[in-house]
């Protein structure tokens, strides 16, 4: 009896860049942002609108020149550099221990991440490992910072959609009220509400005060209850859904090619998180449950960030109860500039910041008598917001102006980081 072989089923996923992505998410090609409109003809039907550096909703000073055909965008050209402060050049003149407060101001929304990234690279150059207590404190503090950053994102995103005078402002005030509690936690720990200068080469500068873990646990309980309030306000809100579902879909292949990771890639189906895949600090002790969604639109990114918020709360709760005893810094006398002199070499480390892969590439230069120099030779910060903004020329064409604002908000660019 002849047996007809069953036809081989079409593969449901395709391997791109190391990730197995569902085939229906991968679009054939994306547009060319350099196509035509080289000279802007003032008499044509296309209007050049400057979403200028001063604008109530461009998340910092970002200028986007939109070429609009009525309300629909035909081409978008972002211009960066309005917040360029020469951080990388500054780092070349500062000693390794003094770089931290400068780098704090890059991603000014989550300063702990910047500090962590750069100090991890310095430690790699020095070849020293922070003690276990410092690793756990780093993880706790990073996850608390992620909660604060996502809370801020929810608030400012509602401002973008709902108006600074209007419903958006209400959501904004509520999330900032919760963020204040986290800033109080950090104030207990480091003395500063913002821009902490807490990490240093080899560990931390400040040790946990007594009663800090109780404060953290109480605050997290409170914040977790409030996240259900935000869900009530926003997740089933028909206006919110009408503005965000199906808007601003990002192709995961494009995201990867542009160097975008973090919530934008994960909402588009890319299952990649450095905390799970390349663990640093104390992430190997916790099981990070990486949230992934496949729709790729703004609503998916919103749900993802809310889920990540809850996941971060869970991670902190796992770690806060068994912080190992011991020193908090592997090197003594790091306060003196010039005490840290790594051998000449190159190093790159990356962490998962709330926006994606935040990495630092540091070149340690030669100094006197064969040892390393007291200053980095070249310090390159690889900001996730820079790459996320490079997506804009590809995804903006064809969208309404209102949608472009919403998309820009949902991509979560921080200009301090993008421009450095």
> Considering only residues 145-164, where is the footprint of other proteins by CB under 8 A?
158-164
| Burial degree of 71 (CB within 10 A; 0-12, 13-18, 19+) | exposed
Least separation, in Å, of the C-beta of 275 and other proteins? 11
Least separation, in Å, of the C-beta of 344 and other proteins? 10
Q: Is 318 in the site for other proteins (CB under 8 A)?
A: no
> Considering only residues 400-419, where is the footprint of other proteins by CB under 8 A?
400-403, 405, 419
CA–CA distance, 258 with 391 (Å, rounded to integer):
7
CA–CA distance, 8 with 186 (Å, rounded to integer):
57
Q: Is 243 in the site for other proteins (CB under 8 A)?
A: yes
| Angle between helix 212-234 and 167-190 (nearest 10) | 170
Q: Are 287 and 311 in contact (CB under 8 A)?
A: no
Least separation, in Å, of the C-beta of 289 and other proteins? 14
CA–CA distance, 171 with 58 (Å, rounded to integer):
18
Q: Is 226 in the site for other proteins (CB under 8 A)?
A: no
Q: Is 367 in the site for other proteins (CB under 8 A)?
A: no
Q: Is 168 in the site for other proteins (CB under 8 A)?
A: yes
Q: Is 71 in the site for other proteins (CB under 8 A)?
A: yes
Stretch that binds other proteins, among 84-92, 104-112, 138-146, 204-212 (CB under 8 A): 84-92
Task: Give the total residue count for the chain.
Answer: 420
User: Residue 160: how many CA atoms within 13 Å on its side-chain side?
Assistant: 26
Least separation, in Å, of the C-beta of 316 and other proteins? 24
For 131, residues 6+ apart whose C-beta sits below 8 A from its C-beta are: 203, 326, 327, 328, 329, 330
Least separation, in Å, of the C-beta of 325 and other proteins? 33
> Considering only residues 184-213, where is the footprint of other proteins by CB under 8 A?
none
> Considering only residues 323-362, where is the footprint of other proteins by CB under 8 A?
345-348, 350, 357, 359, 361
String marking each residue 26-45 x if it binds other proteins according to CB under 8 A: --------x-----------
H-only helix segments in 163-287: 167-190, 212-234, 238-244, 252-257, 263-267, 274-277
Least separation, in Å, of the C-beta of 267 and other proteins? 15
CA–CA distance, 178 with 310 (Å, rounded to integer):
14
């Amino acid at each position: 009896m002849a047996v007809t072989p069953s036809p081989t089923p079409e593969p449901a996923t395709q391997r791109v860049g190391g990730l197995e992505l569902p085939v229906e998410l991968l679009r054939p090609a994306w547009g060319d942002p350099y196509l035509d409109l080289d000279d802007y003809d003032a008499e044509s039907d296309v209007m050049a609108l400057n979403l200028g550096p001063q604008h109530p909703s461009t998340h910092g000073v970002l200028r986007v020149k939109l070429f609009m055909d009525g309300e629909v965008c035909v081409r978008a050209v972002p211009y960066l550099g309005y917040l360029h402060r020469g951080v990388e050049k500054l780092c070349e003149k500062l000693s390794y221990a003094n770089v931290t407060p400068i780098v704090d101001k890059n991603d000014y929304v989550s300063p702990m991440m910047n500090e962590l990234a750069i100090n991890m690279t310095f430690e790699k150059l020095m070849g020293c490992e922070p003690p276990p207590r410092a690793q756990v404190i780093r993880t706790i503090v990073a996850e608390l910072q992620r909660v604060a950053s996502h809370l801020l994102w929810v608030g400012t995103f509602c401002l973008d959609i709902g108006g600074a005078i209007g419903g958006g402002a209400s959501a904004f005030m509520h999330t900032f009220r919760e963020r204040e509690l986290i800033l109080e936690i950090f104030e207990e720990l480091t003395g500063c509400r913002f821009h902490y200068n807490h990490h240093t080469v080899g560990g931390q500068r400040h040790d946990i005060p007594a009663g800090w873990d109780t404060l953290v646990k109480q605050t997290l309980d409170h914040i977790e209850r409030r996240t259900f309030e935000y869900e009530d306000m926003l997740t089933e809100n028909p206006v919110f859904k009408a503005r965000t579902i199906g808007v601003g879909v990002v192709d995961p292949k494009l995201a990867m090619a542009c160097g975008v990771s973090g919530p934008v890639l994960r909402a588009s189906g890319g299952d990649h998180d450095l905390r799970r895949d390349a663990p640093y600090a104390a992430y190997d002790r916790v099981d990070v449950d990486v949230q992934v969604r496949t729709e790729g639109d703004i609503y998916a990114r919103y749900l993802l960030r809310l889920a990540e918020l809850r996941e971060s709360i869970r991670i902190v709760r796992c770690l806060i109860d068994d912080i190992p005893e011991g020193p908090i810094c592997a090197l003594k006398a790091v306060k003196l500039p010039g005490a840290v002199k790594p051998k000449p070499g190159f190093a790159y480390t990356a962490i998962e910041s709330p926006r994606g892969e935040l990495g630092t590439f540091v070149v340690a230069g030669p100094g006197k008598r064969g040892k390393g120099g007291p200053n980095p030779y070249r310090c390159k910060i690889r900001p996730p917001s820079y790459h996320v903004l490079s997506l804009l020329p590809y995804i903006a064409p064809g969208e309404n102006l209102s949608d472009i604002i919403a998309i820009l908000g949902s991509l979560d660019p921080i200009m301090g980081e993008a421009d450095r």
